[in-house]
Amino acid sequence: MVLFILSYLGGVLTIFSPCVLPVVPFLFSRSHLSFVKTGVPTLIGMALSFTAFGLLSAAGGNWVIHANAYGRYFAMFIFSVLGLTLVFPHFAQKVMQPIVNLGGRLQQSAGHSDNVGSSLLIGASVGLLWAPCAGPILGLVLAGAAIGGLNTGTFGLLAAFGFGAATSLGVAIFASGKVLSKIKRGLGIEEWIKKALGVLVLLSVLGIALGLDTQLLARFSFLNTNAFEQSLIDQTHIGGNKAEANQLTHDGPMPSLAGAVSWLNSPPLSAEELKGKVVVVDFWTYSCINCLRSLPYLKAWSERYKSQGLVVIGIHTPEFAFEKDNHNVEAAVKDLGLTYPIAIDSNRTIWSAFKNEYWPAHYFIDAKGEVRFHHFGEGNYEESERLIQRLLSEAHPDSSALGEPVAGQIKADGIERPAGVFAEIVTPETYLGYWRQANFVSAAELKKDAVQTYAIKSDLLINQWGLNGTWFTSAEMVKNQNAGARLSIRFKARDLHLVLGNPGGKPVRFRVRLDGNEPGGMHGDDIDAAGTGTVRSQRLYQLIHLNDGKTEHVFEIEFLDTEAEAFAFTFG
């Protein structure tokens, strides 16, 4: 229920995003009509089309991406016609007769009558243009759907988001109607208002076509509601992210651990033989920065409470193809110093049995073999440890005192260093392969599963990234084809990490620049002060570590050898 409420609030907040503003002028031009007969159907059409395309986006697939783009083109065409009929109604009817047969009648029926059908169609067009203005709350819904599949819950959450957006816009339209009607009565300039709104519509469509709506959003970060949305997610602890003792539940028996391709540090374990033990199951993958930052706590719990009946089990479930390689996982487990049992779940069998959707995800199982709590993401380690202590006390009432949690004493460093202040982390995780690619800018059009030469734009906006040189782009990553090829991003965060690979194990040298200079004291653990480093294995590399994340910076990595694979940026 909490997630449904947050989805609705996330939709309400989208009206404050600059990328929404272009669709508002035309709707205001119809504010003189009956709000019940035209305004409400418009808003319903908007919410339904938004939900439908959200479901298609969640379903994934390249054809959906194209369908979404074509839908936006169609919406821009409709709004262009409607804008022209507002500015030049007679010209549109005489010169653009083929279009006016459809668009002119649509505008007349939508703009001058209480036609429910045309209002629904206009609302659907609004939904197509509104859909990209999604913040972290909608991102959470779509990410869960992409991993766990489409279901009635996903539909409900998307619908809640869509109707939230319709609510805020409906309030704005209703209020604007009152204001505009007073202006018309007082000044008698209704036609001029229509023409002015028509010009705004056409300018808005032009802005959308040129991508100026998203650029405006990037430049004016104070208008971006993403941080506020994310704070709502964090404060409400979606998925049970606050492990308090009074939140212990009874969520059924522990799912099966069968199906792992192999086990490390232990023979295969089963739910049945673990009864009598308190178990913490950790879903992770070794290129996930959030997972890596939780490992010091899992290691500490395993060491401290193992003798008292705790078993920590890591379920390594891959995100990228190279993480399915057993040798890569074995090397990572050794490098990270993990000694507790690790199940290599390359086929996502255990992941599916738990119906899990997140990295990291922690499931707490009592000595009777029942799931009593789950926690998604980082944080709340001390609360989680107290929950472990309570489950151990339930299993062994006569045991000695467990003492104060060790979580508060852990001082992790390097790649496992805790994340910076959330409010300072503006740039989201950024995938480079075309499957989940976003914010890519270049003079050349992206070519999928093909080699293409690109040029980096000199004026990257916040969160935008680009390529320079010749690259091959696949669904998961980009791979440079020439020495000297560069990858750049403008970011705002304390730490910058990049998941890199070297096919065939060939070392690939690289050089990093921060705002055009050597990073010096701001270098990460995987480069030196001059910014030089080498890709020797497929993993996450920490490249930049700042004192804080309050300032925007331009990061650039130049590969001095060919065949470097870059998968995703993560920030902290």
Q: At residue 377, what is the residue type?
A: G
Same domain flag for 312 and 395: yes
Give 11 or 487, the one with higher predicted confidence: 487
What is the predicted pLDDT for the residue at 407? 76
Domain count, the chain: 3
Q: Are residues 400 and 334 part of one domain?
A: yes
Residue 446 and residue 301 share a domain: no
AA letter at 54 = G
Using alpha carbons, select from 321, 56, 54 the residue that is nearest to residue 163.
Answer: 54
Together in a domain, 408 and 441: no
Q: What is residue 422's DSSP assignment?
A: G
Instruction: Find out whether 130 and 213 touch, Cβ atoms under 8 Å.
Output: no
Evaluate if residue 524 carries a pLDDT over 90. Answer: yes
Give domain status of residue 450, yes or no.
yes
224 lies in the same domain as 254: no
**261: domain CATH number?**
3.40.30.10
Q: Which of 477, 525, 531 is nearest to 335 (CA)?
A: 525
- CA–CA separation, 140 vs 169, rounded Å? 23
201, 234, 267 - which closes a domain: 234
Name the range with the highest mean pLDDT among 39-43, 162-166, 458-462, 489-493. Answer: 489-493
Q: What is the per-residue pLDDT for 226?
A: 44
The rounded distance, in Å, linking the Cα atoms of 491 and 460 is: 10
CA atoms within 13 A on the CB side of 88: 12
Q: Which residue has the higher pLDDT, 58 or 279?
A: 279
Residue 240: inside a domain: no
The residue behind tokens 């010749």 is 470
pTM over 0.85: no
Q: Distance (Å, rounded) from C-alpha 452 to C-alpha 470?
A: 6
Q: Is residue 325 assigned to a domain? A: yes
What is d(CA 281, CA 302) in angstroms, rounded to the nearest whole number?
11
Question: Which residues make beta-bridge pairs with 401?
Answer: none
280 pLDDT band (50/70/90 cuts)? very high
pLDDT band at 541 (very low <50, low <70, confident <90, very high): very high
Cis peptide before 360 (omega within 30 of 0): yes
Mean pLDDT in the chain? 75
The reply to whether 524 and 451 lie within a common domain is yes
- What HEC string does 14-65 produce? HHHCCCCHHHHHHHHHCCCCCHHHHHHHHHHHHHHHHHHHHHHHHHCCHHHH
**Which of the pair, 415 or 188, is modelled with greater confidence?**
415
Q: Which residues contact 43 (CB under 8 A, 6 or more apart)?
A: 123, 166, 167, 169, 170
Mean pLDDT over 356-363 rounds to 90
What's residue 353's pLDDT? 93
Q: Which of 342, 364, 238, 352 has its CA nearest to residue 285?
A: 342
What is the structure's pLDDT at 252? 86
Integer Cα distance of 160 and 55 in angstroms = 13
My answer on whether 382 and 307 are in the same domain is yes
Residue 312 counted as domain residue: yes
* pLDDT category of residue 301 using cuts at 50, 70 and 90: very high
Lowest mean pLDDT among 43-47, 402-406, 458-462, 482-486: 43-47
Q: Nearest-CA neighbor of 229 among 9, 376, 18?
A: 9
Question: Quick check: 505 pLDDT over 90?
Answer: no
Would the pLDDT of 518 be above 90? yes
| CA separation for the pair 31, 268 (Å, rounded) | 66
Q: Is 239 within the bounds of a domain?
A: no
Judgement on whether residues 10 and 104 belong to the same structural domain of the protein: yes
Report the pLDDT averaged over residues 520-533: 95
**pLDDT the model gives residue 178:** 58
Residue 278 and residue 366 in contact, taking contact as beta carbons nearer than 8 Å: yes
The token pair that represents 514 in the structure block: 């921060």
- Closest by CA position to 254, among listed 232, 275, 227: 275
Name the band, by pLDDT with cuts 50, 70 and 90, for residue 244: very low
Last residue of a domain, one of 383, 401, 416: 416
- What is the CB neighbour count within 10 angstroms for residue 98? 7
* 122 or 110, which is more confident: 122
- Out of 346, 381, 416, a domain closes at 416
The alpha carbon of 559 is separated from its chain's Cα centroid by a whole number of angstroms, namely 28
The whole-number pLDDT of residue 396 equals 84
Same domain, 400 and 268: yes
pLDDT at residue 234 tops 50: no
Q: Which residues of 159-181 are buried (b: 16+ CB within 10 A; e: fewer)?
A: bbbbbbbbbbbbeebeebbeebe
Q: Is residue 25 part of a domain?
A: yes
> Are 274 and 290 in the same domain?
yes
Crossing angle (nearest 10°) for helices 190-209 and 152-187: 140
Give residue 489's pLDDT.
95
Range 130-143 average pLDDT: 49
- The Cα 396–Cα 411 span in angstroms is 30
Residue 557: pLDDT over 50: yes
Residue 215 has pLDDT above 50, yes or no: no
Which domain, by its residues, includes 367? 245-416
Query: In degrees to the nearest 10, what's the CA dihedral of 136, 216, 169, 44?
Result: -70
Higher pLDDT, 480 or 503: 480
What CATH number has the domain bearing residue 484?
A: 2.60.120.260
Query: Is 366 part of a structural domain of the chain?
Result: yes
For residues 303-320, give the mean pLDDT.
Answer: 93
- The arithmetic mean of pLDDT across residues 545-556, rounded, is 90
Q: For 1-57, how does the pLDDT look when each residue is reduced to its tens digit (9 = 90+)? A: 555 676 677 667 665 554 455 555 555 555 556 666 666 676 677 667 666 655 555
Which residues have a Cβ under 8 Å from the Cβ of 415 and sit 6 or more positions away? 289, 292, 293, 497, 525, 540, 542
Rg (CA), the chain: 27
Which tens digits make up the pLDDT trace of 247-258? Answer: 677 778 999 999
pLDDT at residue 106 greater than cutoff 70: no
User: What does the DSSP 8-state code read for residue 346?
Assistant: T
Q: Are 54 and 138 in contact (CB under 8 A)?
A: yes
Is there a contact between 540 and 497 (Cβ–Cβ < 8 Å)? yes
- Give whichever of 62-71, 410-419, 482-491 has the largest mean pLDDT: 482-491
Read off the pLDDT band of 483 (50, 70, 90): very high
Where residue 382 falls among pLDDT bands split at 50, 70, 90?
A: confident
Q: How confident is the model at residue 245 (pLDDT cuts 50, 70, 90)?
A: very low
**Is residue 556 scored above 70 in pLDDT?**
yes
Please indicate, yes or no, if residue 249 is contained in any of the structural domains: yes
* Claim to verify: residue 259 and residue 224 sit in the same structural domain: no
Residues 6+ apart with CB under 8 A from 224: 17, 135, 217
Residue 401 has phi, psi (to 5 degrees) of -60, 140
Inform me whether the pLDDT recorded for 294 exceeds 50.
yes
What Cα–Cα distance (Å) separates residue 42 from each residue in 28, 126, 333, 377? 12, 8, 55, 38
Residue with the bigger pLDDT between 570 and 242: it is 570
Q: How confident is the model at residue 146 (pLDDT cuts 50, 70, 90)?
A: very low
pLDDT, mean of residues 353-357: 90
In this structure, are 372 and 455 located in the same domain? no
State which of 154-158, 359-363, 527-531 shows the largest mean pLDDT: 527-531
- pLDDT bracket for residue 111 (50, 70, 90): very low
| Residue 162 · residue 48 · CB < 8 Å | yes
Question: 185 in helix, strand or coil?
Answer: helix
Tell me the C-alpha distance between 349 and 345, whole Å: 6
pLDDT at position 428 is 87
Of 29-33, 84-88, 134-138, the least confident? 134-138
